[in-house]
Amino acid sequence: MTIDRAKRKNQVLEAVIETHIDTALPVGSNYIVKMLGLSSATIRGVMFELEKEGCLYHPHTSAGRIPTDLGYRRYVDNIRSRELDALSEGLCSRIKNHLHKLKVLEEIIEESSHVMSEITNYTAVAILPQEKLYLDGAYHMFEQPEFREFERMRDFLRVMEEKKNLLGVLRSDLDYLGTRIRIGREIALDGLEHCTVITTSYKINNQPAGNLGVIGPMRMKYEKIVPLVEEIASFATEMLERI
């Protein structure tokens, strides 16, 4: 594949995914034609190739395509090779205002999770040093169009209530350097196959002590959520160093 062809595929995939993130609807080729200014035949051909590669799928009831977990993985790898959005000063101040007066480890981590859930409207997760799992905002997932189906709601809620299997997945991320993004089947947990889990570690004495992160739909604004998770974990680390 030539560089130009690979670049065009990535452009089309990015356009489809970012449109789907905004609309939660299948994306038709005509819409992408307007976005990218390429011919209808070119866009249809590229979308067909992406579908064959498993990056898009074609719901039977729609003429448009929806990204798969593999498509999101390619998209995330592409955008992470670029510099992601920095948090605004206002948002950083909001985070610090929530946390700066806290003096107890559990309070700092639990409030960090609460702030993360409040800002993202996703479910926040945290592993405390005692390997206790803390969850905040599970109800937010039911506000997402993907989770209005009864079976998805039930399966997600079961994972949140049982906790044991989720704790096992998140605990395996403690040794991971940097921010980990698990998408769909990469999570390897029934009930979360339509989700993304983003986690990063907070530290005590410069050593990873636990994880903070979010569980949301695959259809999330990664370029905004990833820096947010990292900033909150960084500030939690700063607070823990003070105590």
Domain ranges of the chain: 3-80, 89-242
- Check residue 206 and give left, alpha or beta (phi > 0: left; psi -120 to 50: alpha): left
What pLDDT, on a 0 to 100 scale, did the predictor assign at position 20? Answer: 96
Sign of the CA dihedral 180, 10, 194, 52? negative
What pLDDT, on a 0 to 100 scale, did the predictor assign at position 212? Answer: 96
Q: Please tell me whether the overall predicted TM-score, pTM, comes out greater than 0.85 for this model.
A: yes
Which residues lie closer than 8 Å to 42 by C-beta, 6 or more apart? 8
Using the structure block, give the residue that is written with the tokens 């990056």: 55
Using pLDDT thresholds of 50, 70 and 90, give the confidence band for residue 47: very high
Half-sphere exposure of 39 (CA within 13 A, CB side): 3
- Which of 82-91, 96-105, 129-138 has the largest mean confidence? 129-138
Q: Does domain 89-242 have CATH number 3.20.20.30?
A: no
Q: Is the pLDDT of residue 61 over 90?
A: no
Phi, psi of 218 (to 5 degrees): -55, -30
Using pLDDT thresholds of 50, 70 and 90, give the confidence band for residue 137: very high
Q: Sort strands 195-204 and 66-67 into parallel, antiparallel or unpaired.
A: unpaired
- For residues 218 and 91, the model is more confident at 218
Distance CA 81, CA 222 (A): 13
Q: Does domain 3-80 have CATH number 3.30.590.10?
A: no
